[in-house]
Amino acid sequence: MKRTLLEVFCGLAALVLMVSFHHQIARLETRQTDVGALERKVEQVAAAAGDTRELQQIRQQILAQTEARMATLEAQFKNATAGSNRAQALEQELQQARREVETFRSQMATDFERQKALVDAYIHETRTKEEDAASKLSETQVAIATLASQLYRDPTELTHTMLLPTVQLNGDDTVGSGTIVFSGENPKSHAVETYVLTAHHVVRNILADTPKAAQDGFDVTIYMPGEKLVVKGRMVASQPKIDAALVRLVTDRKLPFVANVLPRNECGQVKVWDPVCAVGCPLGNDPVPSNGEVSSLHNELNGANYWMINAPTYFGNSGGGIYLGDTRQLIGVFSKIYTHGKGAPVVVPHMGLCTPMESIYEWLATEKLDHLLQSSTVSRIDLSHLATPPR
């Protein structure tokens, strides 16, 4: 900007010198106040450097006054020395000066616009960098907070969101797991209802080895802080193809701990290597967690697709919940565990299959019961950039 102002001042000074014509047209010059007025305009330009629009207006005023002055000089030349050789010579010189002034005017305008564009680009770049820095700072703060929460996980929060929604299903010779996915008022009947998501084969086995369960229901143990509740449960819907079942608990008590089910539109975002937590009641124990990762998303069995996880599981985990390790959202129902060998097969605890929530959503939608899945979105922060070495 200083360079432009200096060029404007020098150009205006050159204009004054050209008008003088080596004292030959001194008699045609007006009072020195005209030059002083132009100089004051230049000072105004410097004072208004922070206002682009005012700079433009002042520049236009200077150019307009210059053109008017040149027109006056031309008229004075013609009136004062019309017809003489001297007048012709002076007129030629004046025309030359006018062309030079016009060239200067064009260059001044071009320089001004170029400088303005440079200044605007610099201001835009500066503002963009400031906004980007503020955004990066905010993202880093969130990432640090998230990383801190992963390094120090609140045991109480983990218990409330994954262990306490877990229930145990019991028959005479069968034990399995389930997850509370709804507990609240039915909008139609206005009665409090509670529903548990589990594996179909768990309920099938309980009904097979406990004859009275078909009529009276089967025992379901609910875990509360400091106490256990045992209520009856009855299967209200099932889909053997995907090994899934929905059980309604016979209780009018609204339970406080319900699983947060992964929203349906986010099911496709689960990928191999995602950390998971399997929660269930292996061998009839109270709910226990085990951590691992998603191992595979494509395992077809009897025409249905299952996800494989490597979190350790055992007999009794069937029907239990599989949660995302970072957001604690329910992403599947544990179904099957791999075994190896014949006669006395060996359990492979780190190769378990679960029914993904996408299949559960599709099934419950056909039953008009998908509204029972309580879902809310939880932000997942990608911290991989924190582990990337600087370049």
Domain segments of the chain: what residues? 2-128, 166-250, 260-379
CATH 2.40.10.10 for the 260-379 domain, yes or no: yes
Contacts of 318 (CB under 8 A, 6+ apart): 176, 177, 199, 201, 202, 280, 334, 335, 336, 337
Least confident of 37-46, 171-180, 341-350: 37-46
Strand, coil or helix: 246? strand
pTM of the model: 0.62
Average of pLDDT values for 182-211?
92
CATH 1.20.1560.10 for the 166-250 domain, yes or no: no
Max avg pLDDT among 45-54, 84-93, 223-232: 223-232
Fold equal for 166-250 and 260-379: yes
Q: What is the pLDDT of residues 128-148, one digit of tens each?
A: 888 888 888 877 776 766 666
Least confident of 43-47, 85-89, 377-381: 43-47
pLDDT category of residue 28 using cuts at 50, 70 and 90 = very low
Strand, coil or helix: 120? helix
Q: Quick one: tokens of 248?
A: 């309604």
